[in-house]
Structure 1
Amino acid sequence: MKRFKLLSLILAATMSLTIVGCTAKDESERATGKAKDGVYQGTGSGYGGKLTLEVETEGNAIKDIRLVEEHETAPVMNRAFPVIKERIMEAQSPVVDSVSGATFSSFAVKKAVAEAMKEAGKDFGEITMTTQGPAVEKKELEEVKTQLVVVGGGPAGLSAAIEAKQNGVEDIIVVEKLDILSGNGKFDMNFYDLINSQAQRDNGVEDSPEALAADLKEEGAWDTDERLMAQAEGSAELDLWLREMGIELNYNYGGRNHMAEADAYAGEEIQDKMEAKVNELGIDVRTGTKGLDLIMEDGKAVGVKVESKEGTYDIKADAVIMATGGFSNNKELLAKYAPGTEKLQTSNQMGTTGDFVSVFEENEIQLGHMDTIRIFPTIISNRRDLTGGGSTIFVNKNGERFIDETKGGLELGSAILEQEGGKAYYIYDQQLFDASYRLQKHNALGYHTSADTLEELAEKMGINAENLVKTVEETNKAVDGETADQFRQKALGKKIEKGPFYAVQIESAVHMTKGGVVANEKAEILNTDNEVIPGLYAAGEVADSSAAYSASVVFGRISGEEAAKYISNK
């Protein structure tokens, strides 16, 4: 409950934007009947399944809403529930707008409230996925002035705002088009490429910025040498900065990989506490507010045009930081820049729609590597959760392997789609289960299916059992070196032989778009003539970079520091 209260405080400043027009008077006139005093339960079906809550009524009004049971994704639900509850309480009705970024969870809550209220004697009618609050006529609103505006409330945007505040910038506005913060970072298990951490030192791992920069380049990083070194030096300082906010990444594995603990994802720890820090610093966070356009004057960035539920307005600022993410959720842009990837699902959060790509092009801002897409080999079908890794095979409904599992990218994604019904399954045994916290977590949540035998597993999954058993036998022989065929796996390592056995339906997904606006080692954005655009910075997935999560925070910090210097020198 403490986390709910904390995140509610962060969002409280923006609630008036999202509930305008959803008045209790308007909605009570639509409802029929009068609610009896008491506590009533209702259920709804959300992203994770059944959700149950109770509604307390008094004097024909909703007095409180309390969750009883839910199976939603925690980083989403912990942020979304305070918002949807506030909207319903304000409107005294479940006929309100859903929380963007939490559509299914919002639907479940609204439907459950409606059911509970009907039991109490007040009927709000049918609640559907399209149910929303009264429309608000959009207007042109008054201009707002600030020192710094940050567009995007993900890891890069939040770290930029925090760093700028810590470097003396008093007036900062962060705009986020979704109703919840922290982008894709809040889902991440691993915090990659972190060096000089307390956990590394505790493990006796010796590392350096020079070694990290060299390794990144050897692994194919295309960033300039200056950006790579800026990332590496920033990585060496990052653990201490995070710990000053109470963010402890105590589990170091695989060299530079970090989780909060061996059984706790890094993303939730980092993003929850960065949001808390933003709130503590009094930074003006405006969720449900979409960036539309850059405001440029004499070649300088002087603000952004934004849109809230009430209308559009200009935010004039001394400096602008772009942290809007990539375009993984924009099929049109994927088809334009990386044909074929648009047919895949995405594991990225719904806000990654590349809203400013056309703005960058119109303003002759340099873009790079727009055709470079990070495709994650396997996600759980019908969900966005990443899975995979280790001793596993992929089979189709006929129980047959259809590709060498060491393949990846669009080749693997296309091969899965070409199977009967577009279905493929990830098969593994107890050995891999024991070695992977992610698989353990997904099984505990009921995402995967298990059985004592392969035959039983096949029956549960609708796979040809005889072929599955034969496929596993042939695979194990290949691992032992007894056979050599087109599916010989060098990376498998272990046979699939120790029950229980596990399976989940999988597909490949666009995980990140790696191309974007070109920025230098100071996070300054460059134009098509390779010149710095004064007052304009970029951090995170919006930027052209081979890096990922930890680098978003590193360059968020760099952009905040550099913007603070620029503002102080004006």
Structure 2
Amino acid sequence: MPAEMIVVGAGPGGLACAIAAAEAGGSVLVLEKADRIGGALPYSGGHLSAGGFSAQRERGIEDDVEAHWEDVRRISRGTGRQDLTRLSLAEQPAVLEWLLDAGYTIDPATPRIVHGHEQYRTPRTVHASETPGGPEILRVLGVLLEPHLASGKVEVRCGTGVAGLLTEGEAVVGVVTTGGQEFRAPSVVLATGGFGYAPELFAELEGAPLTTSAAPTSTGDGVIMGREAGAAIQGLGKYIPTFGGLPPEGGDLRVDWLHRPQLTAPERPPWEIYVDRHGRRWVAEDDPSIDHKERKLTGIDRMTFWMVFDSRALRESRPMVHGWTPEELDARCGARRGVHKADDLASLAALAGISPEGLAEGVERYNKAVAAGRDDDFGRTHLPAPIVEAPFYAIENHPVTLITFAGLDVDERLRVRREDGRVIPGLYAVGEVIGSAAVNGNAFCSGMCLTPAMAFGRIVGRSLAGA
């Protein structure tokens, strides 16, 4: 049976689209360049959110779509697209119930408020107990997909990259693979993810240094193909980094996200100071707003900073880095890139690449603030101890790209648009390929990456199947 639609990419958005279309009676061909389905899910923390779903009600949490919208609008400062955000939020409770009904298991401590991003006012984020939680979502999507594979409603071809779109006039009528094979269908849905593993495209569209935790398959294929077909780009100028991660090693672009510095003040009140390469502090380290810190980070030279602390801080603070005891952190100094130890501040600065004079001045000024019980420079209130006990430590932090904010412009039906606003007939896009700024604006809103990808996928799948 010829497919009624072609879905390019078998990540969360593409799989949700194919499953929803098949549930509505449609037939789908899914083309995936990797040798297995999942897209970014194997690398994802798997955070999902919705306003007003069963797991909230079971815990007595009152919430609804309108409250979720107000939180997203507040956190994003209204910089996302209202039409797309509201479209997604209205579908997100159904996405959660869909997964839960299929056996998705969430951490019993959720729904919760996540402090790694600017906080919602209501607990509405869920994730699996395992870390990362993306594989659990993939498992459940596999359960939902299986009967449609068996019936022939969905065909998935892994190891099949798509090189370009087939067009007739202004309409998209199919795709051509990297092997030169053509597939035609009335509709093509791009669900290829972002471009967080494509340095040149990232530099062009986001204009920032790239240190990434994105999947290696996130190379911007859909954005490139869409632009070649005349698509416009939305979300430009809205990039914001995730606040800090150890520099990658061995020429890899990816950070070690399992062992990341613990920089969320409500979860670990800081004993350290943050300095730039000139040795200057630039923010109140105990500011509870991670969003404020991320925005300040964009103004720092190369968006790179160092946590500087002493032996007492290492001993008495909660662990500085996820997964490392104080002894393990100490052992990695000099052995792991970006982790340094020295008997004096001048030697520490030389190892880390920080101005020795600037660091000495910055630490001295901070120590005076501790003695006075008042930080006149940045208003920090958590001042547990001066930085005086050798040896001294510095941990280098880079801005981390979790998601890409720019992407293909779409209308409220997820149809890809040209610069003049005209729809490209036959071409749709869902997930990160439309840019995370569409629903997050210039911010990170908890659960608003994976959940909208599946929400939009389901909406498009149902629509194209005639449901």
Task: Give the TM-score normalised by structure 2.
Answer: 0.72
SS in 2 for 1:378: strand
SS in 2 for 1:153: coil
CA offsets, 1:193-228, max 9 Å, x none?
Answer: 322233322332211111111222222243433322
Distance of aligned partners of 1:402 and 1:172 in 2 relative to their CA distance in 1, 3 Å threshold: same
Q: In the alignment, what sits opposite 1:84?
A: none
Aligned-pair CA distance for 1:541 = 0.9
Farther off after superposition, 550-559 or 146-155: 550-559
Whole-angstrom CA distance in 2 between matches of 1:512 and 1:235: 19
Q: In the alignment, what sits opposite 1:315?
A: 183
For residues 215-364 of structure 1, what are the structure 2 equivalents within 5 Å?
A: 215-219=71-75, 220-250=77-107, 251-254=110-113, 255-261=123-129, 264-282=131-149, 283-307=154-178, 311-339=179-207, 341=208, 343-364=209-230
For residues 74-223 of structure 1, what are the structure 2 equivalents within 5 Å?
A: 145-169=2-26, 171-189=27-45, 191-219=47-75, 220-223=77-80
Whole-angstrom CA distance in 1 between matches of 2:415 and 2:317: 44
2:463 maps to 1:565 = yes
Aligned-pair CA distance for 1:488 = 3.8
Farther off after superposition, 202-211 or 292-301: 292-301
**C-alpha contact (below 8 Å) 1:179/1:288 kept by paired residues:** yes
CA offsets, 1:119-170, max 9 Å, x none?
Answer: xxxxxxxxxxxxxxxxxxxxxxxxx95222211222212222222222212x
Q: In the alignment, what sits opposite 1:536?
A: 427
| Higher relative contact order (Cα pairs below 8 Å, separated by 6+ residues) | 2
Aligned-pair CA distance for 1:483 = 2.8
Amino acid at match of 1:293: G
**Higher Rg:** 1
Amino acid at match of 1:345: T
Aligned-pair CA distance for 1:450 = 5.4
Whole-angstrom CA distance in 2 between matches of 1:367 and 1:233: 25
Aligned-pair CA distance for 1:415 = 4.3
**C-alpha contact (below 8 Å) 1:399/1:465 kept by paired residues:** no
Distance of aligned partners of 1:511 and 1:265 in 2 relative to their CA distance in 1, 3 Å threshold: closer
Whole-angstrom CA distance in 1 between matches of 2:197 and 2:15: 21
Distance of aligned partners of 1:322 and 1:394 in 2 relative to their CA distance in 1, 3 Å threshold: farther
**C-alpha contact (below 8 Å) 1:176/1:288 kept by paired residues:** yes
Whole-angstrom CA distance in 2 between matches of 1:315 and 1:253: 44
Amino acid at match of 1:389: T
Q: In the alignment, what sits opposite 1:462?
A: 341
2:454 maps to 1:556 = yes
Q: How many residue pairs align between the two structures?
A: 401
SS in 2 for 1:373: coil
Aligned Cα RMSD in Å? 4.0
For residues 388-537 of structure 1, what are the structure 2 equivalents within 5 Å?
A: 388-390=263-265, 391-392=269-270, 393-394=272-273, 402-404=281-283, 405=285, 408-409=293-294, 412=297, 415=300, 424-425=306-307, 433=318, 440=322, 442-443=323-324, 449=329, 461-465=340-344, 478=369, 482-489=373-380, 493=382, 495=384, 505-537=396-428
Unaligned runs of 5+ in 1: 1-143, 455-459
SS in 2 for 1:359: helix
Higher strand residue share? 1
Q: In the alignment, what sits opposite 1:376?
A: 242
Amino acid at match of 2:452: V
* Percent identity for Structure 1 against Structure 2: 23
Aligned-pair CA distance for 1:542 = 0.7
SS in 2 for 1:321: strand
CA offsets, 1:474-500, max 9 Å, x none?
Answer: 75875797132435436xx57479xxx
Unaligned runs of 5+ in 2: 114-122, 249-253, 334-338, 349-358, 387-391
Task: Give the TM-score normalised by structure 1.
Answer: 0.60
Amino acid at match of 1:412: L
Amino acid at match of 1:244: D
